[in-house]
């Protein structure tokens, strides 16, 4: 198994190389050269497997022999032992054709743990073998940051810098990041939006001298290994609901397009996925794209689902690569136009192909709130977070177009306790933090506020990395 860049001008890489590389050197994202596939019998044989065993089976073809299956199985076993539910990503049925898949049973209460608990261990394993140190730079709108910090804290071979948009995450999300005082963890509150954070991360990768000097790595879903690990739970849900003998559809609250792209990957691997419903909040660039074929940025609006306050969905490039029939040069040209003018359009043929599988729905603030209220009422007490509410409302909007015999699974991407104010406003109940985070509000915080300026952020990284300079403590 080799990996190629969506822009066609970077070296092809093996799994361990792609894990450490993050963004490709031509600015593109890595994808598998070909998708491994499972036969119907192989899919049937996945039914009833414990999550960790299923995960090894689904991910093994992506390793290309760069880790032994035994080594990998041990890392996977350890990663999912950190989850507080035996099923890891359990399904809850809401009505005859609607399910919710709970992805928030990991240490930081969001779906990011599913991939990042494994990634932290993979980094450690591969870096120890190579005798290397990496500097991870990551952007977060709230959830990736804490999951990545939790997965990478106190690891000798890693320094991790997480940029979050100052004042635009929930307080719980911020504290989950900034109260980790490990010497290899560096929190930056950027004066800007999530898109600014993501732009700076990409700019650091695209500055080749800096990238090489720091040996940069990524924890965002630009890193292929994130997508690989997220593919697994689509298999877990689908085989449990009868795949391959019954198709399944998914509704995914979407921002950076990593989660729903993982579903697209699962389908490419043979899973019978009928429809992918993309739920967006008021930052509806993706819903507008699936309606019109034009991707066009607008100013970011802060919402009660802040993790999805995103305009530039980095993983969309991976889908576009296929819509451009894997023509890296044509895609690079499209991306350059997007960067320069803030918009691009696909052809009607490309849009029709995308719409065979995807549809998008915008869910505004009132509907998000009403969905949290209604879900609690209809289920007799179930609390959902605002992002899950966006997914569920989008699922409801799509349902009239769908066969009711096909299960529709909405991804519950975060625990309601991460967004207590929004949940309390909608339901009248303040969801308590689980015991492991019960003293979060009493813990000391450490972060550095920086302006949205590449050179300033780069100097900060240089000054803090433990292997080059004695750490000086940040106030
Ligand atoms: C709780 C939550 N829901 C949904 C999303 C959107 O997922 P993606 O960025 O993979 O589209 C995010 C952020 O990624 C998130 O943190
Ligand atoms: N919503 C995300 C944004 C980053 O997404 P990623 O999947 O590319 O890491 C967050 O919570 O940070």
Residue with tokens 């650091």: 204
Ligand 1 atom closest to residue 258's alpha carbon, by position in its atom list: 10
Q: Do domains 86-109+224-427 and 133-220+445-475 have the same CATH topology?
A: yes
Q: Report ipTM (2 d.p.).
A: 0.99
Query: What pLDDT was estimated at residue 468?
Result: 41
Structural tokens at position 77: 């076993």
Ligand 2 nearest atom to the CA of residue 145, by list position:
12
62 lines ligand 1 (CB under 6 A): no
Residue 472 is predicted with a pLDDT of 32
The fold of the 86-109+224-427 domain, in CATH, is Rossmann fold (3.40.50)
Domain ranges in the chain are 86-109+224-427, 133-220+445-475
Query: What pLDDT sits at residue 466?
Result: 83
3-state secondary structure at position 296: strand
Reduce the DSSP state of residue 280 to 3 states and report it: strand
Q: Write down the pLDDT at residue 410.
A: 98
Per-residue pLDDT tens digits for 134-150 = 999 999 999 999 999 99
Q: Is 360 in the pocket of ligand 1 (CB under 6 A)?
A: no
Q: Which of 103, 106, 112, 222 to mutate to test the pocket of ligand 2 (most atoms within 8 A of CB)?
A: 112
Nearest CA to ligand 1 atom 12: 307
Token couple for 286: 């993706």
Contact 315, 256 (CB under 8 A): yes
- How far apart, in whole angstroms, are the C-alpha atoms of residue 409 and residue 238? 9
CATH number, domain 133-220+445-475: 3.40.50.1100
Per the listing, tokens 């080594």 go with 71
pTM over 0.80: yes
Query: Is any atom of ligand 1 closer than 6 Å to the C-beta of 306?
Result: no
Structure tokens at 275: 């429809």
CA-wise closest residue to 208 among 435, 404, 25: 25
Tell me the β-bridge partners of 410.
100, 251
Cis peptide before 244 (omega within 30 of 0): yes
Which residue, among 69, 47, 50, has the nearest Cα to 60 in the 3D structure?
A: 69
How confident is the model over 368-424, as pLDDT tens digits? 999 999 999 999 999 999 999 999 999 999 999 999 999 999 999 999 999 999 999
User: Mutate which of 114, 137, 140, 225 to test ligand 2's pocket (most atoms within 8 Å of Cβ)?
Assistant: 140
Q: What is the mean pLDDT of each run of 10 residues along the chain (475 residues)?
A: 97 97 96 98 98 98 95 98 96 97 98 98 96 96 97 96 97 97 97 97 96 96 98 98 98 97 98 98 97 95 96 96 98 95 96 98 98 96 97 98 97 97 97 94 97 98 73 33
State whether the beta carbon of 258 lies less than 6 angstroms from ligand 2. yes
State if residue 143 touches ligand 1 by the CB under 6 angstroms criterion. yes
Residue 281: predicted pLDDT: 98
Of 242, 246, 249, 245, nearest in space to 275 by CA: 249
């Amino acid at each position: 198994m080799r990996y190629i860049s969506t822009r066609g001008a970077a070296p092809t890489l093996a799994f361990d190389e792609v894990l450490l590389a993050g963004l490709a050197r031509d600015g593109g994202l890595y994808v598998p050269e070909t998708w491994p596939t499972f036969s119907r019998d192989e899919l049937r044989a996945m039914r009833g497997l414990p999550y960790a065993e299923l995960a090894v089976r689904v991910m093994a073809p992506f390793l290309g022999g760069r880790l032994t299956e035994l080594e990998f199985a041990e890392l996977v076993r350890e990663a999912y032992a950190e989850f507080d539910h035996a099923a890891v990503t359990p399904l809850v049925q809401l009505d005859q054709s609607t399910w919710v898949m709970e992805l928030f049973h990991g240490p930081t209460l969001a779906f990011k743990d599913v991939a990042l608990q494994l990634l932290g261990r993979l980094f450690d394993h591969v870096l120890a073998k190579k005798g290397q140190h990496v500097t991870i730079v990551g952007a977060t709108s709230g959830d990736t940051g804490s999951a990545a910090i939790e997965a990478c804290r106190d690891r000798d071979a890693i320094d991790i810098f997480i940029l979050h948009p100052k004042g635009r995450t929930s307080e719980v999300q911020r504290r989950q990041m900034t109260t980790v005082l490990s010497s290899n963890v560096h929190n930056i509150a950027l004066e800007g939006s999530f898109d600014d954070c993501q732009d700076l991360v990409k700019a650091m990768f695209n500055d080749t001298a800096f990238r090489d000097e720091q040996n940069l790595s990524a924890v965002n879903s630009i890193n292929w290994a994130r997508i690989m690990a997220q593919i697994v739970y689509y298999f877990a849900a689908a085989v449990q609901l009868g795949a391959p003998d019954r198709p399944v559809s998914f509704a995914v609250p979407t921002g950076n397009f990593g989660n729903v792209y993982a579903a697209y990957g699962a389908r490419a691997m043979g899973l019978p996925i009928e429809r992918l419903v993309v739920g967006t909040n008021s930052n509806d660039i993706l819903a507008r794209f699936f309606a019109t074929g034009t991707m066009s940025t607008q100013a970011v609006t802060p919402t009660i689902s802040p993790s999805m306050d995103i305009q530039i969905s980095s993983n969309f490039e991976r889908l576009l690569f296929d819509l451009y029939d894997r023509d890296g040069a044509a895609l690079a040209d499209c991306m350059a136009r997007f960067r320069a003018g803030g918009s691009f359009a696909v052809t009607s043929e490309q849009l029709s192909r995308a719409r065979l599988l995807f549809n998008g729905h915008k869910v505004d603030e009132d509907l998000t709130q009403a969905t949290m209220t209604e879900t609690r009422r209809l289920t007799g007490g179930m609390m959902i977070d605002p992002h899950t509410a966006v997914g569920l409302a989008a699922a409801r909007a799509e349902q009239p177009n769908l066969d009711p015999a096909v299960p529709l699974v909405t991804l519950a991407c975060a625990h309601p306790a991460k967004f207590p104010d929004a949940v309390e406003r909608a339901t009248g109940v303040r969801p308590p933090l689980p015991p492991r985070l019960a003293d979060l509000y009493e813990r000391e915080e450490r972060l550095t506020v920086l302006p949205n300026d590449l050179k300033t952020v780069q100097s900060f990284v240089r000054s803090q990395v433990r292997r080059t300079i004695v750490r000086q403590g940040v106030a």
